[in-house]
């Protein structure tokens, strides 16, 4: 399953739209997500951001051996994009070290 986290943009054909971090995490927990595309700013920072999903994946990989999907960032927030991409690189390093 391909999951697209965004509060404003519409998911491309073939992608499952989610609006909040907990929705993305719930789907990730099923183990069926193969690709994940993340926005950072979701309209309610108290509710969470796309970076919260990156942090969840990083912890799940490090602690539980979770196998991460392919992760992309489509956020227009350039500083948040850099932070998220750094987190994705960390996820990839951790996942490689566990093989």
Q: What are phi and psi of 92, to 5 degrees?
A: -65, -40
Q: Which CATH superfamily is domain 2-97 in?
A: Response regulator (3.40.50.2300)
Residue 10 has pLDDT above 80, yes or no: yes
Residue for token digits 């399953």? 1
Residue 47 is predicted with a pLDDT of 84
Residue 31 is predicted with a pLDDT of 95
Going from N- to C-terminal start, the domains of the chain cover 2-97
Q: What is the pLDDT of residues 37-93, one digit of tens each?
A: 999 999 887 889 999 999 999 999 999 999 999 999 999 999 999 999 999 999 999
Residue 74 is predicted with a pLDDT of 97
User: What is the distance, to the nearest Å, from the Cα of residue 21 to the centroid of all Cα atoms in its chain?
Assistant: 8
Residue 99 is predicted with a pLDDT of 73
Overall pTM > 0.85: yes
Pairing of strands 70-73, 15-18: unpaired
């Amino acid at each position: 399953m391909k999951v697209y986290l965004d509060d404003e943009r519409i998911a491309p054909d073939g992608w499952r739209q989610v609006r909040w971090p907990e929705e993305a995490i719930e789907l990730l927990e099923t183990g069926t997500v193969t690709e994940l595309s993340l926005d950072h700013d979701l309209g309610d920072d108290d509710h969470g951001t796309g970076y919260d999903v990156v942090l969840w994946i990083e912890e799940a990989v490090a602690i539980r051996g979770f196998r991460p999907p392919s992760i992309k960032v489509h956020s227009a927030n350039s500083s948040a994009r850099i932070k998220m991409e750094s987190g994705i690189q960390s996820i990839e390093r951790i996942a490689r070290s566990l093989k």
